[in-house]
Structures are given as C-alpha cells and as structure tokens.
C-alpha cells in the first residue's frame, strides 16, 4: 500500500462529536478486589479505571497516553467488553454492549477488534498465516463456506502488504514487521468499525514503525475505521492521532485535539510528559526547562485524596489536596477538557 504524502490528510480534526459516537464510555469504573494483606484482612480495592468518559467520532483516531500502570490496558478491555465494569457503560453505535443478550453482544462485539502489542507472542506458532488470519471468520462461520473464508483471509493479507503465496508459512518465518501486519490482517478480516491498537509498534524497529503507522492510516481512510491508539512514544501519537487523552491513576486528566495538546498542554502532568521527549533539533535543545516529576505514581489501591496528581505537582495548593477537580473546558474552548484546579497558573 503506498505511503501517504499529502499533508492535508494528516491535519488534526477538532474534538467535535456530532450525532451518535461510534464508541462511547460513560463514567466507566473498574475496581479490582484487594488481595493479600495481613491474615484476616483484605487490602484495599485497586482502582484501575476511576470514572472515564470518552466519545469517539467515526473515522477519528484517539491517542491514549500515560505512564505504565495508569489504567490504559484495563480501559481498553472495558471498551471491548472483555471485562464487566464496576460501574458505567460502554456503547457501540449508541447501544450499551453489556445490556445486550449474549448472542447479540457477541455479534456486535466483532465490530471492535484489537491489534496486540507483541507480534512475537500474540500469534500461535502452530498455525499457518492463513489459519491465523482466517480464525475470526471460522469462529463466526462467516461466510459458511470454508473456501470463501480462505479467500477472505488471502484478501486481508494482500490489504496489509503480505503475499498470499506465503499463506502456508508459520509466524516464525516472518519478520517482526510482517508478523504485526499479520496481526492487523487478523483484526481487519471481520471488517470492524473500531480498531484498538495496544502499542502496536513498540516492539518494532523505528523504520518498520513508520511503515506500520502509514499502513494503519491508509486502512483507516480506505475502510472508514475509528482507531484507539495506545502508545508510550508521543512522537508516534503526534503522527497518527487526531485527538489525545492523557491518563493518570485511572482518570483522564486532559483530552484535546492533537495540536493543542502538543503545542499548548494545560495539565501539569501533560507538560511533564511532553518535556521528557527528546528534541531532534540540536539548535532547540536546552532552550526549555525540562520538568522532572518527583517520586513514583501513587498506588491505585491507595490513591491520594483531592487531585490524584497533587503529590507530584509543583502547582499544588491546599485546594488540590482536598478537592478532586472535575474535567472542565479549557479557557476559550468548548471541546478541550482538563482536570486541574489551576491549569492556567
């Protein structure tokens, strides 16, 4: 698939959701029961996701960023209805997934597919490439004819730049980038509405990362996909995302369009994340002061009162210690949200 060179195609879309969102989370909460502790005592619940609201417009790309342990992977499992939330709802095209009968929920869930992080460990080494890509079709018996399912698998391989003549090879006979393309073909073969990409390029070489990101962008444009893209690499997020949600300790602390976030971050945590990204231009290095956060994130089983970030924030005041900030529009905006008492200070 040819790489895109038209810069207009890469321009960010505003965070505006008219009509019914393709995928939506409403006050989504997931707390896991505590384990261990002293004999006769149970430790506090782990608050992995603690009240998340999201709405994804059709054909948009949401970048989801934050430190390890902030709740990104748990949020993804909830969005895919792989886990039942403690509270809140997940809606696909306006319908609450977990409220549907099991058969219907299973049918509708095929509209959300995932590309895994590890192209080495996520593919069964005993299966051929054709079997790996065809497996979702076999599970749903769609179409009923096995030969037709094989044809669809070959078509999906071709779409991601793999030669169907290699359909008989096993995963270890492909390179890392080709294995990730196999994973994308496997996710794409059911023609989903939403593609959830859980750090899909972090295990790949930089040159291969660019190829996979360009492939995802081309597939999105061709099939009208909505993407949820989880990444630690903010440079990749900046290249692909239309809007970015920043997670900290199970909450969304900032959500805005890509350019606003990278050029004018409002939340102190977002500013600290961005300041840690190396600048490739040596002429600009050292001009800005790097923000180094003190300490580690608090435990999700024992989060601090008030603002969850106040234990590491240089702006902390008494209000931050006692009152939890609700996401509110940034000054002069309607669609950019920030959960901070003093974002402009």
The residue ranges of every structural domain in the chain are 19-111+192-338
Q: Which of 293, 117, 269 is nearest to 201 (CA)?
A: 117
Across 39-45, average pLDDT: 66
Q: Which long-range contacts (CB under 8 A, 24 or more apart) does 151-159 make?
A: 152/189, 153/185, 153/189, 154/130, 156/185, 156/186, 156/188, 156/189, 157/129, 157/130, 157/133, 157/182, 157/185, 159/1, 159/185, 159/188, 159/219
* Residue 274, both tokens: 């961005």
* Residue 46, both tokens: 């782990």
Sequence-separated (6 or more) residues with CB below 8 Å from residue 319? 306, 341
Any idea what DSSP says for residue 72? Answer: H
Q: Which of 69, 5, 66, 65 is nearest to 241 (CA)?
A: 65
The CATH topology of domain 19-111+192-338 is Rossmann fold (3.40.50)
Cβ contact 186:155 at 8 Å: no
What is the per-residue pLDDT across 148-177, written as a single tens digit (0 to 9) for each?
999 999 999 999 999 999 999 999 999 999
What is the per-residue pLDDT across 281-312, written as a single tens digit (0 to 9) for each?
555 555 556 777 877 888 898 899 999 999 99
The predicted structure's pLDDT at residue 6? 39
32-36, 114-118, 253-257, 310-314: least confident range: 32-36
What is the per-residue pLDDT across 73-108, written as a single tens digit (0 to 9) for each?
999 999 999 899 999 999 999 999 989 998 898 889
* Residue 342, both tokens: 């003093």
Percent over 70 (pLDDT), the chain: 87
Instruction: Say how far apart CA 325 and CA 125 lie, in whole Å.
Output: 48
**Averaged pLDDT of the chain:** 87
Cβ contact 135:186 at 8 Å: yes
Across 322-329, average pLDDT: 93
Instruction: Indicate if the pLDDT at residue 142 is higher than 70.
Output: yes
Instruction: Indicate if the pLDDT at residue 254 is higher than 50.
Output: yes
Instruction: Indicate if the pLDDT at residue 325 is higher than 80.
Output: yes
The predicted structure's pLDDT at residue 279? 62
The predicted structure's pLDDT at residue 341? 94
Any idea what DSSP says for residue 128? Answer: B
Cβ contact 167:186 at 8 Å: no
Q: Which of 243, 300, 229 is nearest to 50 (CA)?
A: 300
Listing DSSP states for 140-203 in one string gives: HT-SSSHHHHHHHHHHHHHHTT--GGGTTSBGGGS-HHHHHHHHHHHHHTT--SEEEEESTTTT
């Amino acid at each position: 698939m040819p790489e895109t060179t038209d810069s207009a195609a890469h321009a960010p879309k505003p965070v505006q959701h008219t009509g019914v969102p393709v995928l939506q989370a409403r006050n989504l909460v997931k707390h896991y029961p505590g384990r261990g502790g002293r004999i006769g005592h149970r430790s506090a619940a782990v608050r992995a996701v603690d009240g998340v609201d999201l709405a994804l417009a059709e054909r948009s790309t949401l970048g989801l960023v934050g430190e390890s342990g902030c709740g990104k992977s748990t949020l993804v499992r909830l969005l895919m209805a792989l886990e039942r939330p403690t509270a809140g709802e997940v809606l696909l095209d306006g319908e609450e997934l977990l409220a549907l009968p099991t058969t219907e929920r299973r049918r509708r869930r095929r509209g959300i597919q995932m590309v895994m992080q590890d192209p080495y460990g996520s593919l069964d080494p005993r299966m051929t490439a054709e079997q790996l890509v065809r497996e979702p079709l076999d599970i749903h018996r769609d179409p009923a004819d096995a030969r037709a399912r094989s044809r669809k698998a070959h078509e999906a391989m071709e779409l991601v730049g793999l030669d169907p003549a290699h359909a008989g090879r096993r995963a270890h006979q492909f390179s890392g980038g080709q294995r990730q393309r196999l994973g994308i073909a496997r996710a794409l073969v059911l023609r989903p509405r939403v593609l959830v990409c859980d750090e899909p390029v972090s295990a790949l070489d930089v040159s291969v990362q660019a190829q996979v990101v360009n492939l995802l962008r081309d597939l999105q444009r061709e099939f009208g996909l909505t993407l949820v893209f989880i990444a630690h690499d903010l440079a990749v997020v900046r290249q692909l995302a239309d809007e970015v949600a920043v997670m900290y300790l199970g909450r969304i602390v900032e959500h805005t369009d890509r350019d606003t976030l990278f050029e004018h971050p409002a939340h102190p945590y977002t500013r600290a994340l961005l300041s840690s990204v190396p600048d490739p231009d040596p002429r600009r290095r050292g001009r800005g002061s790097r923000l180094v956060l003190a300490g580690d994130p608090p435990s999700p089983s024992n989060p601090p009162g008030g603002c969850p970030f106040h234990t590491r924030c240089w702006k902390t005041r008494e209000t931050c210690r006692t009152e939890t900030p609700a996401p509110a529009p940034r000054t002069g905006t309607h669609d950019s949200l920030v959960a901070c008492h003093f974002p402009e200070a």
